[in-house]
Structure 1
């Protein structure tokens, strides 16, 4: 707590010293800039409150607001990359050659699990991805939402399960769709200075007004990006070429980098006045993508479980198909849809109501090409359909709000209450029979299943549901003009494990009209999903010491073998969130906030320790080890967010300076899972992400020109590579990247922008212990490791 008190005292001193600095040669333009800043800080927000007049400055919890212009200033249209550059504690990884996570990238807020951040669209829950990622995390895929459809993004950096339900442990990301009239088309081209990763994108939006009150906005995006490769030839591939000069071994035999990817996204946002103080509204978002990624290369001289010649298939030799080995090609075809319809209205001036229903679906079809099921011998195909994962969610919500005028209070007491029903359904569709078949060659040592990633079998296929019913109450009381308190309570009952009750208390005290203290305490939870409760999977990895492929099985908790090994029914993760902060603004154009937080999560969700399959149990897939899901370890996450901006006149132009800095540390407090009991996994968990992350930006607008400079800082972090016999670790130092961009308004309706991300072509240290795999830079890096990226785009408004 001494650290926290010192930090608050320093922030107060910083504010006071800035306020006392004399303003020389203050002009009308400077005053205008200050007024603009004050206006921005007073924009009404809708996240973390059910009051209709709460602003970013006077909210009881920290909320970052990013405008359409902020979003457009980031080169990527992938919302994960956008938020990684805008939000101080948001980190997203590339993870090449990491199965489905290559395409559905894990993103974390405040270092917590990807599925411990709730995502909303227009204030309603957005559905999850069908992918279960690292440690079983099942989070929404923000890449499915078109950036061109967004009006602004509000990021609540505080626990909010008492207000929104499951998942809101780290915070809430609320994406507000555009509803402004007018049209816009943007064409963009980019590529890396290594002359790969070429990408083209076309984005369009059009908003129109129909009748007297109707609004309709349409959005469309199409993008294509070629793969990148930061790869050296594997040493064993060089040895193979030397031993067999008659062969033409590809160089490199496998590729580390971003996948080959194509995507299309469509959407609409609409509303119409029905009269009698009622408005009908709705939106729809559709997305489709197809991608391909490399897997580890199979060496014909050493991959005996694939290339072994047996009496089961006399005269058959896999070298006749893959004489130089093979690198399986993993494909991902994804379809995503989310639609919502609702009606809102008012009973008088003080009572409002809102009823809505939504449906979301994410489906992922997996394929494997350039592969083999060796146990089938010559009967095996070389391409496989591996099956489909599907996540579906239905939600019905009724929300009410009443502004209660109480005698003696300057403002009304806001009372919000409502109820919600949600259904989640998870489905697994089996792949081709050959993709999971155990052929006659398995008994003689040949690998079964599609090599690289086995297909989902008929035994794994199925559909599973979970229902939940919730009721909630939210009250904000303005005790006087300076002091506001709030409270929230939510009860929720789940069909699979029972009920939960969570609460939140928050307060804000204005020391001056421009300087305030705020704080909150809340409990939260994250409910296990049907996919986590009921499914099992098989994965393959490469031991970086032996360069041999090994298979691991993840069993459902109801699987007889998992129960034999100690699996217990899954329960919700539970959290306690405490935050304390200050926020300020002044007449010289400075605004900002400092927020400390302490988040304790118990019964965290992860995979168990790895178990060898008992010799008395059948093991047709020849698993090296098996695991199951468990929620048996506890953590404490502590940190601080510092956010600030300063808007002023400089010469004939406007200068906007921004700072976003986060320090975050997560420690394991105990438990029985592998994370708590295995030293290697504990290091991976606690040190896999940088503890510090910062972005410093400067934008200068003058006449038809706008120039942007941005510095991104990532602190040091630790990487590991999983082997059958243990992990190897490497510490990577801090990295800083400089981005530059300039925009020129060719006409009032046309803008040309060009920019460079990572101007100085910075790369991290090489991942020396993974060199045997041909990889140069760690695949687990919390930033892009492809070097300098150049881009140009052209926007036409109409």
Structure 2
């Protein structure tokens, strides 16, 4: 076993022994928290106190910290995807910033159509505008050890929470328990790469009888993986030029090198009987590195050529075996929330006043590259610039129990919000975007692989919104729950929106209930989507030539000339209806059907040639722009079955979950834009069928956990200079297993493996010319089996 992991494990054991005396003081508090955990009270999708997942009018999944710890990955998106079949995450190696900020999709919708909350407060977006311009929060910035549970509302909730909650809401509840938890973990793929070290420590301190302060720190250091074949053109070059030392492979397809440090703090303190001060915050800082496409000196004519601008010079002298640009990211995320809450009027009125600020900052670098248009004066390393997203929210929320005489009180929630978003782009090194003398003779400008942000692309853009809402929930009779919510919001950039939600639940027989909701929703375009543009480079899989594409702001004169119009909010209608059951014998089940109609869905136009006569100094092969492109209809079914019972001297827990999700383009502007490729991507990019199954057995000091995952067929696509290419992939089944042994009451050891049978998906034949073996857009890990060992302590 690796010495570094042994050191981490021994250190954790020594810490555990030293901490025992402190832990005895907080044992009683931990026991109280554990007993309350079984009640499964939820706070997402309802503002009525005391609701459980069974009682809610819309489906809510609750993932405990034990379920979160059972997944090896430190990325919370991957953790959710392992547990929830309606939640998908693409791995996206060697995909610019998406290699580090992976897009997550709930119910097949765009990543930024799912609202993310922490302790019920909106979490800031990532600065990255990802696939088709989606700008969603980066769940990888939240330390898993800091989480008590995650509640996932699978229902539209814009009327309750505002923009983005079209597909649903992910609410991350931070741990507030006194006590100490810690772990050290080592993992490695069966192929011998991707070794990853993780360690975390959490300390919770009881503040007399008035509250608690919990502080968490977590570190992850993951090495790169490679599932790559040598490119055929590299093999041919080596045979033709045996004097060259050509790397094998010339470029790596796999997960990036990545190091991340995460932290969290959570404070509650009762000032006096009617007022509690609370504050919490998260911080994440990390860096990573990934490969881009190899530049072949034999045929990359935009780099390796003789010119009159630089007589006697060719970049073959600098890179005789070609070069593979190395793309680096350095990110820093901060989120802080402070507030005051309490109760008035004999506890019939509660209030919550809060302020929150969040920031996502990403700096990009590029090494082992060049700006060909500068010839021998070109640097080989570049600072590409910075992306930054800042948000500031003010919230005032009330809940009032309105007495209705002989009926149950009406739960009346109301409040207001002010939200400000700012997006900033800062330029990179001048050489990363400049055009040198060689451009006139065909040498490519910009840093090769990822052009830097230029002053014309840079700037600061903001948007402010004001909102007011009301949310009602009532029980006219014991078996019936009725709900209604409405929200009005006004945006500085495009005007106002009004959304509402109706819900109902009836339980005619104890333990059996029917529930349904109807809601309208919206997602407002962000300042980054409204105002920014960027330059990207790709590799044509047919010609193996590098091409340069421009994604323009909708207000850019070229985009306007091509038909671009100002962005508008996406609007939705969401219907969910289902049945839920639980029995005293430990069986729970739910079946929910849903339909989500989205108008003016946000996407990217098809690629256009730059019109004749329009200046094209960056030598764009094609240009596109963001647009409200399609109307779509998403229909699906969620089914969940769970059973807990005693088996022999132990206890067994089983859970099966299935999701069917189908998206179809129903209309919109596709006829005028002509984007048939985008239609197919929306409809086929994710599996329609997904399922998970878990069996956990606990006997004395031993816990055994088996987990299975099923992914149905799906379609991959890739950009080419002349359009999209597609390939259909068959279904995939993966199995995970782990065994935990409690060494003492405070110390446990887990050994396990993910993808225990080392299964691999279909090969990506349409990408073979790049040396890629498995699709980089897969909704599952394509690196094969992974084994791990984890040492945990808890007092």
Same fold (TM over 0.5): yes
Could you list the per-position Cα deviations for residues 171-221 of structure 1 after superposition, in whole angstroms to 9, with x for gaps in the alignment? 000000000011111000000000000000111101011233131000001
- For 1:306, the equivalent position in structure 2 comes to 303
- For 1:602, the equivalent position in structure 2 comes to 599
Deviation at 1:721, TM superposition (A): 2.1
Deviation at 1:672, TM superposition (A): 1.9
CA distance in 2, matches of 1:181, 1:211: 11
Q: Which blocks of at least 5 consecutive residues in structure 1 are unaligned?
A: 1-35
Deviation at 1:643, TM superposition (A): 1.1
Residue 462 of structure 2 is aligned with which of 461, 465, 471? 465
Does the Cα contact within 8 Å between 2:649 and 2:699 map onto a contact in 1?
A: yes
Residue 482 of structure 1 is aligned with which of 448, 473, 479? 479
Q: Which blocks of at least 5 consecutive residues in structure 2 are unaligned?
A: 1-32
- For 1:141, the equivalent position in structure 2 comes to 138
- For 2:357, the equivalent position in structure 1 comes to 359
- For 1:408, the equivalent position in structure 2 comes to 406
CA distance in 1, matches of 2:273, 2:338: 19
SS at match of 1:304: coil
Residue 384 of structure 1 is aligned with which of 382, 385, 394? 382
Structure 1 residue 548 corresponds to structure 2 residue 545: yes
- For 1:21, the equivalent position in structure 2 comes to none
SS at match of 1:631: strand
Deviation at 1:455, TM superposition (A): 0.2
Deviation at 1:727, TM superposition (A): 2.6
- For 1:491, the equivalent position in structure 2 comes to 488
CA distance in 2, matches of 1:342, 1:725: 54
- For 1:44, the equivalent position in structure 2 comes to 41
Q: Describe the shift of the 1:678–1:569 C-alpha distance in structure 2 as closer, same or farther (beyond 3 A).
A: closer
Does the Cα contact within 8 Å between 1:217 and 1:269 map onto a contact in 2?
A: yes
CA distance in 1, matches of 2:543, 2:107: 37
Deviation at 1:509, TM superposition (A): 0.4
Structure 1 residue 108 corresponds to structure 2 residue 105: yes
CA distance in 1, matches of 2:432, 2:670: 32
Residue 286 of structure 2 is aligned with which of 279, 285, 289? 289
CA distance in 2, matches of 1:585, 1:190: 38
Residue 368 of structure 2 is aligned with which of 370, 380, 385? 370
- For 1:533, the equivalent position in structure 2 comes to 530
CA distance in 2, matches of 1:61, 1:433: 53
Deviation at 1:320, TM superposition (A): 1.6
Q: Under a length normalisation based on structure 1, what TM-score does the superposition of the two structures give?
A: 0.94
CA distance in 2, matches of 1:55, 1:483: 15
Structure 1 residue 566 corresponds to structure 2 residue 572: no
Does the Cα contact within 8 Å between 2:605 and 2:673 map onto a contact in 1?
A: no
- For 2:6, the equivalent position in structure 1 comes to none
Residue 83 of structure 2 is aligned with which of 79, 86, 90? 86
Does the Cα contact within 8 Å between 1:42 and 1:56 map onto a contact in 2?
A: no
Does the Cα contact within 8 Å between 2:605 and 2:675 map onto a contact in 1?
A: no
Q: Describe the shift of the 1:637–1:38 C-alpha distance in structure 2 as closer, same or farther (beyond 3 A).
A: farther
Structure 1 residue 782 corresponds to structure 2 residue 779: yes
CA distance in 1, matches of 2:105, 2:536: 23
Deviation at 1:39, TM superposition (A): 8.6
- Within 5 Å, give how 1:607-626 maps onto structure 2: 607-626=604-623
SS at match of 1:570: coil
Deviation at 1:677, TM superposition (A): 3.3
Deviation at 1:632, TM superposition (A): 3.0
Deviation at 1:311, TM superposition (A): 1.1
- For 1:4, the equivalent position in structure 2 comes to none
SS at match of 1:764: coil
SS at match of 1:690: coil
Could you list the per-position Cα deviations for residues 580-600 of structure 1 after superposition, in whole angstroms to 9, with x for gaps in the alignment? 001110011100211100000
Residue 250 of structure 2 is aligned with which of 250, 253, 277? 253
Deviation at 1:88, TM superposition (A): 1.9
Does the Cα contact within 8 Å between 1:185 and 1:203 map onto a contact in 2?
A: yes
Does the Cα contact within 8 Å between 2:604 and 2:629 map onto a contact in 1?
A: no
Deviation at 1:480, TM superposition (A): 0.3
Deviation at 1:729, TM superposition (A): 2.1
Aligned length: 762
- For 1:26, the equivalent position in structure 2 comes to none
CA distance in 2, matches of 1:83, 1:72: 11
CA distance in 1, matches of 2:724, 2:150: 39
Deviation at 1:40, TM superposition (A): 6.9
Q: Under a length normalisation based on structure 2, what TM-score does the superposition of the two structures give?
A: 0.95
Could you list the per-position Cα deviations for residues 614-654 of structure 1 after superposition, in whole angstroms to 9, with x for gaps in the alignment? 12100011111111111031000000001121000111100
CA distance in 1, matches of 2:90, 2:723: 23
Q: Describe the shift of the 1:101–1:162 C-alpha distance in structure 2 as closer, same or farther (beyond 3 A).
A: same
Could you list the per-position Cα deviations for residues 710-768 of structure 1 after superposition, in whole angstroms to 9, with x for gaps in the alignment? 11000011112221123332211111001000000001110000101001100011111
- For 1:28, the equivalent position in structure 2 comes to none
- For 2:763, the equivalent position in structure 1 comes to 766
- Provide the aligned C-alpha RMSD in A: 1.4
- For 1:503, the equivalent position in structure 2 comes to 500
Deviation at 1:682, TM superposition (A): 2.0
Structure 1 residue 441 corresponds to structure 2 residue 438: yes
- For 1:747, the equivalent position in structure 2 comes to 744
Structure 1 residue 701 corresponds to structure 2 residue 665: no
Deviation at 1:289, TM superposition (A): 0.8
Residue 686 of structure 1 is aligned with which of 672, 683, 704? 683
Deviation at 1:797, TM superposition (A): 2.1
CA distance in 2, matches of 1:59, 1:646: 20
Does the Cα contact within 8 Å between 2:572 and 2:598 map onto a contact in 1?
A: yes
Could you list the per-position Cα deviations for residues 559-606 of structure 1 after superposition, in whole angstroms to 9, with x for gaps in the alignment? 111111111111100000001001110011100211100000001101
Does the Cα contact within 8 Å between 1:591 and 1:646 map onto a contact in 2?
A: yes
Q: Describe the shift of the 1:67–1:788 C-alpha distance in structure 2 as closer, same or farther (beyond 3 A).
A: same
- For 1:122, the equivalent position in structure 2 comes to 119
Deviation at 1:679, TM superposition (A): 2.9
CA distance in 2, matches of 1:387, 1:731: 37
SS at match of 1:236: helix
Deviates more, 1:151-160 or 1:624-633: 624-633
Structure 1 residue 524 corresponds to structure 2 residue 521: yes
Residue 342 of structure 2 is aligned with which of 339, 345, 362? 345
Residue 393 of structure 2 is aligned with which of 385, 392, 395? 395
- For 1:95, the equivalent position in structure 2 comes to 92
Structure 1 residue 66 corresponds to structure 2 residue 63: yes
- For 1:586, the equivalent position in structure 2 comes to 583
Does the Cα contact within 8 Å between 2:670 and 2:676 map onto a contact in 1?
A: no
Does the Cα contact within 8 Å between 1:38 and 1:585 map onto a contact in 2?
A: no
CA distance in 2, matches of 1:692, 1:558: 39
Deviation at 1:263, TM superposition (A): 0.5
CA distance in 2, matches of 1:680, 1:560: 25
Could you list the per-position Cα deviations for residues 106-134 of structure 1 after superposition, in whole angstroms to 9, with x for gaps in the alignment? 01000000000000000000000000011
Deviation at 1:317, TM superposition (A): 1.8
Could you list the per-position Cα deviations for residues 128-183 of structure 1 after superposition, in whole angstroms to 9, with x for gaps in the alignment? 00000111000000000000000010000000000000000000000000000111
Deviation at 1:408, TM superposition (A): 2.4
SS at match of 1:763: coil
- For 1:15, the equivalent position in structure 2 comes to none
Does the Cα contact within 8 Å between 1:385 and 1:435 map onto a contact in 2?
A: yes
- For 2:3, the equivalent position in structure 1 comes to none
